Amino acid sequence: MPNLILVHQKMKQALEDYQNIAAAISRRARDITTYIVDTKELDWAQAGEVARDATLCVSPMPIKKFKSPRGPVLQGFEYPKGQQNRRLRDIGVPVPDWVEITPDTVLDPERWGPYVVVKPELGRRGAEIRIKRTERVRYRAPDTFEEGHPGRKGPLLAQRFVYTGRWPVNYRVVTLFGKALICWRCEVDHKFPPLEERYGFGGGGVTIVSNKKSSTYTLAYDRDVIELGERVHGAFPGQPVLGSDIVRDVETGELFVLEASPRGDAWYMSSDTGIEIQQANAINFMDQFNALEIATERLIEKTRELAA
């Protein structure tokens, strides 16, 4: 009989979610025994018992201290954005053109357009993402950035700008092993000046980042967005939970994936961040697609497939 170990991290997933999933697995898949452990657990009393049978360990985020006694371990992992882009491109998922900014970088506006997005390879939560005139993009040595800037730890990337409308809009599709748990649409607060045309940045004050604290979140059901988000998992088969950011060019209708967030900090049904978003926007992520039902089925399938 195979074992499933679910690794829990406080503030990132409600323990109750895992308990409900474990109970549902027990009812539907009597051949699977489910255990819940804390990511910081060192001396697990049941390790010897579990090690006797085939086991799969699943953790949405990188495990801090816990060591699985047996079998494959599937956990979140932080891939740099350039590496994410290459993995996505290699399986045919559309991503905006990008290039690492090096000492030799000179971008041609004829190819890239008059403006490009400049962002850090290792940035999070939209930090230090800027719009910049293409001909002014230049390399900066890491030690010239202020303390705490992600440019001190990794390169900057230049990326083709995707025009999502007068105010920035993005979708996020949260998936577990390739099945959507959540899909939201996020639009920046309209207190920011609108971008009236694709490259109309001359007036200043326009933001290109949609996911600010004051942004508006709504549940989204766009089938093409959801299907694209589910395809992203093909590039990261070892990561259980992805939070893929997807944008739609408002003029052409084309969809592009900006990043997959393979670190796995995306259990928004009950994480502290997710609860804040739901309360501020009067929405319910858990009920949108019946997230725990989908999670239960996918975990049963993966345990039977991969436990060893």
Query: Taking CA 167 as the corner, what is the angle to CA 163 and CA 170, rounded to the nearest 5 degrees?
Result: 65
Query: Which residues lie closer than 8 Å to 223 by C-beta, 6 or more apart?
Result: none
Residue 139 tokens, joined: 């390399």
pLDDT at 112: 97
Query: Taking CA 32 as the corner, what is the angle to CA 30 and CA 33, rounded to the nearest 5 degrees?
Result: 105
Buried b / exposed e over 39-70, threshold 16 CB at 10 Å, is: bebeebeebeebeeebbbbbbbbbbeebebbb
Which pTM was predicted?
Answer: 0.95
Give residue for tokens 């740099």.
80
pLDDT at 168: 96
For residues 145 and 152, is the Cβ–Cβ distance under 8 A? yes
Mean pLDDT by 10 residues, the chain (308 residues): 96 98 97 98 94 97 97 97 97 97 95 95 75 93 81 88 97 98 97 93 82 93 98 97 98 97 97 97 98 98 98
Element (H, E) at 272: helix 272-281
Q: Residue 269 half-sphere exposure, CB side, CA atoms within 13 Å? A: 25
Query: Which residues lie closer than 8 Å to 289 by C-beta, 6 or more apart?
Result: 180, 181, 182, 183
Helix (H, G, I), strand (E, B) or coil at 110: helix
**Of 71, 69, 10, residue with least CA distance to 38:** 10
Element (H, E) at 241: strand 241-248
CATH code of domain 77-95+162-263: 3.30.470.20
Phi, psi of 276 (to 5 degrees): -60, -45
pLDDT at 140: 86
CA distance 95 to 239: 19
Give residue for tokens 């093409």.
224
